[in-house]
Structure 1
Amino acid sequence: MGRKPRNTATMKQVAERAGVSQATVSLVLNNVGGSRVNEATRQRVMDTVEELGYRTNAFAKSLRSGESGMIGFISDEVASSPFAGELLKGAQQLAWETGNVILSVDTFNEPDLEAAAIDMMLSYRVKGVVYASMYHRVLDLPAGLEAVPTVVVNAQERSRRVASVFPDEEAGGYAATRQLIEAGHTRIAMINIQPEDSDLPAGIGRLAGYRRALSEAGIVDHPELVRYGGGVVEDGLALTLDLFDLDEPPTAIFCGNDRTAWGAYRALESRGLRVPEDCSIVGFDNHAMLAPILDPGLSTIELPYEQMARAGIELLLSGSAQEPTSNPIECVPILRGSVADAKVHA
């Protein structure tokens, strides 16, 4: 036999058991400031609420107040992706800390599903919406979100109507290259994660950071040391082999993501070479299922998923989401064992 559902207590039952009016119960549960409910009565009501298992009707409360205590989280594939799941985690944690909950929907880039998700968010009277992307790109805000405070996370909103929170790609590329420069390397290659003519911010920013670090250090930016891949292991392998066919191979490689770095490891191994003794490697992403597991562990730059989501929620709750601000978030270096001093290569 199935479990018999528990009866739901009503406010009237709480009032009768506590010996007070329903108005008094409402004042206590809604923590109305300035009410004349003394501490003993307030405690008696709360004890009765606990005894009867009373739960407030959140939907009815939202109709009265115009707020549901919910924050919408609409994404393409974030919630279903272990790689970017930290975005949703960060949003959930800060929402909970501030007395809110997250209402999350993955749309899988389907316009009809996205439109339905927006309608649902509006019907629930969410305080605002986090519109999140699986990868850093420039996007157009969908119709319907102009009716509710919205912040774009892990992307940049093209028309600059709302606030955008995204990784500081250039600073991350700079930090990655500085790791290699500070280890004494001067012949530093980069394998990017997108074609040379791509307009995606990630590859553009990381390459700009690489070039800025070289320039500040007085190191010549040799065009033959820059390669353009697609961010996959196979490209990292092929392009590293290509670099090591040069008359003067690099002593260090900045790989535009961790999958590319894995390919670089495999390429060096196929030539009988070792990381970092024969070539130092730095990646980008801090992919939890890859970077710490490579041997040696991969020094990399961490994408700030959780921090971006928290920043987005803070903008919503502070009322600043509708200000068209750009909010780059620092990408922090994670140091492991894939970088050695350049003198090892001498």
Structure 2
Amino acid sequence: MTIRDVAQRAGVSSATVSLVLNNVADSRVSAATAERVRAAASELAYAPNLVARGLRRRRTNTIAVLSDEIATTPFASRMIGAIQDVAMRNGLLVFMVNTAGDPETERSAVVAFNQQQVDGFVYACLYHRVVDLPPGLGSNVVVLDGRTRRPRFPAVVPDDRGGARAAVTELLAHGHRRIGFVNDYSATVAADLRLKGYRDALREHGVRFDKRAVRNAEPGLEPSAEAAVRLHEDAGVTALFCFNDRVAIGAYHGLRRHGLAVPRDVSVVGFDDQEFVADYADPPLTTVALPHYAMGQWAAEELIERINGGTDQPRVCEMPCELVRRGSVGPPRADGT
């Protein structure tokens, strides 16, 4: 099927079909004629040759997503879904490679994508971190859920500090003043920012920071369970803010084994809003949602703007993190235990 077939069906010239299907402004084609051309193209199932169009415009209408682990992790798959949605609305095809964080795989992927002459790259991370980008990406690059050491390219990250502040503020609003924090044992960007947000909320409400109320837990339910129990017994906390939802579930287990109920004895707030974890906890976990879809959408739209010659400012967007209220927060016990 060719453009000539569409022109013959619509009773117009091939040039008119080209003007209509390429959405050329000021083409002086009447609305009725344009509608007739689109109807003919639809009836004939005609699709423009995007390769040829791309060659004329020196574009391939493709973008690449270079990720460490998110392409194989359901936890962050909404970022990928958002990129695909934006790409489809703009007539772009998305290529994707999951590198498992291996530098050699990254370099090979960049070479392969450049051979395909992709129009730009989204460099995507599973969690908020500082990244060293591989060479060869060019100038049309956006970093998703990470940032470079020096501001070179646009980047979008969750507002970890603001999300933590909102989580602790929720506990303070319920009357808690002895609030513990089970943080990640790794010195990640997110761990540092969430600790700062925790301290921000305490300071804003006139509550003195007590370093005994903060414990770092290694991965796994048992370390989190132990940290939660120790904070309750040694620091006398009546509420816990947890680095993520998995840490919060570990805290649930530890508290329950010691005869403590959530939220009757200890209130708990998580972070991430991980599907099938936070909402299926018993009781359902109040948590802070990571804005995966919104971040993916922002990254794709920013990349398209750069490809189209828009802004080249290396700004960092901190995407707000919404508090999701469920059933794990209540007032402290009247007897203070």
Other-structure match for 1:117: 109
1:140 lines up with 2:132 in the alignment: yes
Pairwise CA distance, 1:124: 4.3
Pairwise CA distance, 1:201: 0.7
Q: Given the alignment, which residue of 226, 232, 239 partners 2:227?
A: 239
CA distance in 1, matches of 2:247, 2:172: 20
1:10 lines up with 2:5 in the alignment: no
CA distance in 1, matches of 2:155, 2:203: 29
Other-structure match for 1:107: 99
| Contact 2:273/2:289 (<8 A) preserved | yes
CA distance in 2, matches of 1:120, 1:321: 27
1:312 lines up with 2:299 in the alignment: yes
1:264 lines up with 2:251 in the alignment: yes
User: Share of identical aligned residues, percent?
Assistant: 39
* Residues 180-217 of structure 1 deviation map (CA, whole Å, 9 limit, x = unaligned): 1111111111110124xx2x111000011111211222
Tell me which moved more, 226-235 or 92-101: 92-101
Other-structure match for 1:96: 88
Other-structure match for 1:159: 150
Q: Given the alignment, which residue of 277, 286, 289 partners 1:290?
A: 277
Other-structure match for 2:24: 32
1:249 lines up with 2:239 in the alignment: no
- Taking a change above 3 Å as real, the CA distance of residues 44 and 328 of structure 1, as seen in their structure-2 partners, is closer
1:332 lines up with 2:322 in the alignment: yes
1:150 lines up with 2:138 in the alignment: no
Other-structure match for 1:222: 210
| Contact 2:264/2:333 (<8 A) preserved | no
What is the one-letter code of the residue matched to 1:221? Answer: F
* Residues 295-327 of structure 1 deviation map (CA, whole Å, 9 limit, x = unaligned): 111111111111111222232233366322222
CA distance in 1, matches of 2:335, 2:221: 25
Other-structure match for 1:206: 194
Query: In the comparison of the two structures, how many residue pairs are matched?
Result: 333
1:85 lines up with 2:73 in the alignment: no
| Contact 1:236/1:260 (<8 A) preserved | yes
| Contact 2:67/2:125 (<8 A) preserved | yes
CA distance in 1, matches of 2:124, 2:43: 41
Q: TM-score, normalised by structure 2?
A: 0.91
| Contact 1:231/1:256 (<8 A) preserved | no
Other-structure match for 1:174: 165
Q: CA RMSD in A?
A: 2.1
CA distance in 2, matches of 1:171, 1:284: 12
Pairwise CA distance, 1:105: 2.4
SS in 2 for 1:72: strand
What is the one-letter code of the residue matched to 1:187? Answer: R
SS in 2 for 1:47: helix
What is the one-letter code of the residue matched to 1:207? Answer: L
| Contact 1:251/1:345 (<8 A) preserved | no
| Contact 2:87/2:93 (<8 A) preserved | yes
CA distance in 1, matches of 2:203, 2:219: 25
CA distance in 2, matches of 1:39, 1:184: 64
Other-structure match for 1:3: none
Q: Given the alignment, which residue of 27, 50, 55 partners 2:47?
A: 55
| Contact 2:265/2:332 (<8 A) preserved | no
CA distance in 2, matches of 1:42, 1:217: 63
CA distance in 2, matches of 1:345, 1:101: 61
Pairwise CA distance, 1:90: 1.9
Gaps of 5+ in 2: none
What is the one-letter code of the residue matched to 1:323? Answer: Q
Pairwise CA distance, 1:231: 4.3
CA distance in 1, matches of 2:94, 2:79: 12
CA distance in 2, matches of 1:80, 1:321: 32
Tell me which moved more, 67-76 or 275-284: 67-76
Pairwise CA distance, 1:157: 1.1
- Taking a change above 3 Å as real, the CA distance of residues 219 and 35 of structure 1, as seen in their structure-2 partners, is closer
CA distance in 2, matches of 1:265, 1:167: 26
Tell me which moved more, 99-108 or 220-229: 99-108
| Contact 1:161/1:322 (<8 A) preserved | no
CA distance in 1, matches of 2:26, 2:139: 31
SS in 2 for 1:135: strand
* Residues 243-286 of structure 1 deviation map (CA, whole Å, 9 limit, x = unaligned): 2342x521111111111100110011101110000101111111
Pairwise CA distance, 1:46: 2.9
SS in 1 for 2:127: coil
* Residues 101-121 of structure 1 deviation map (CA, whole Å, 9 limit, x = unaligned): 433222222334323432344
| Contact 1:118/1:144 (<8 A) preserved | yes
